[in-house]
Amino acid sequence: MGLFSAMLWIYYAFLKPDTTLLITINSVGCLIQSAYICFYLFFAPKYARVQTVKMLVLLNVVGLGLIMLLTHYLAKDDSYRANIVGWICLVFSLCVFVAPLCVVRQVIRTKSVEYMPFLLSFFLTLSAVMWFFYGLLRKDYNIAIPNVLGFIFGVLQMVLYAIYKNGKKVVQEKQKQIPEILQSQINIAIEEQKLPELKDQIIDVVKLGGIAVEIIPVLPVLVV
């Protein structure tokens, strides 16, 4: 969504005069968001990787292409086209600012801020304030309005950080639980391996034609 929003803002900037700053910041945003997505695709499991690629093609290729084609051919006047694209940018910018709500929910649920860095929230708030005044001074409300919501969510995240900054570390607790889970899985695996081995030994006894043979179960030794 961040990549899609940045690409939309670049298209909007080319429809308006004197928008060098808008083109510059969103070009950098496209590079950074693309890097984030590449890292995610590299480390994600196969199913998540496939779903992400589908979403990228659907949203950033098909969606952006349709917006550009429709606004180019249906809106003949440049100012009218810029106004339509501006409202579309406004909607998707709101979606970008709403996206951190899932992190806010996780912070409240776990009472831990390890998933929500303070510097990210601080600079989100600072950026929203700067872009709000930039849009207001240029009388471009498509830029100003979404950053009001960005400022509100930024302040909300910093307040949550102040409340839960001394909370428990969820990741450390999960790491402590890993040895216990591994040990239980090892025990289950050993128990499951006993039955097939005993079955094979019984079959060998039957093949010997009733010869009495002492069966000594051999259990695998797991070296950790």
Q: In the structure, how many helices (H) and strands (E) does the chain have?
A: 9, 0
* Predicted local confidence at residue 204, as pLDDT: 52
The span from the CA of 185 to the CA of 180, in Å, is 9
Give the contacts of 212 (CB within 8 A, at least 6 positions apart).
Answer: none
* Predicted local confidence at residue 200, as pLDDT: 55
The span from the CA of 22 to the CA of 5, in Å, is 12
Helix, strand or coil, per DSSP, at residue 196: helix
Tens digits of pLDDT across the chain (224 residues): 889 989 999 999 998 888 888 999 999 999 999 999 999 999 999 999 999 999 999 989 999 999 999 988 888 787 888 889 999 998 888 888 777 777 888 888 888 888 788 888 888 889 899 999 999 998 888 899 989 988 998 888 888 888 888 766 554 444 454 455 555 665 665 555 554 554 455 455 444 544 444 444 444 444 44
**The amino acid at 25:** I
Burial class (CB in 10 A: 0-12, 13-18, 19+), 107: buried
* Predicted local confidence at residue 162, as pLDDT: 87
* Predicted local confidence at residue 10, as pLDDT: 93
The span from the CA of 164 to the CA of 107, in Å, is 8
The span from the CA of 11 to the CA of 126, in Å, is 25
* Predicted local confidence at residue 29, as pLDDT: 92
The span from the CA of 63 to the CA of 65, in Å, is 5
The span from the CA of 41 to the CA of 52, in Å, is 8
The answer to whether residues 215 and 197 touch, using CB atoms and an 8 Å cutoff, is: no
Give the contacts of 115 (CB within 8 A, at least 6 positions apart).
Answer: 103, 106, 107
- Render the burial of 166-201: b for 16+ CB within 10 Å, e for the rest: eeeeeeeeeeeeeeeeeeeeeeeeeeeeeeeeeeee
DSSP string of 69-91, one letter each residue = HHHHHH--SHHHHHHHHHHHHHH
* Predicted local confidence at residue 167, as pLDDT: 66
* Predicted local confidence at residue 109, as pLDDT: 86
The span from the CA of 209 to the CA of 6, in Å, is 79
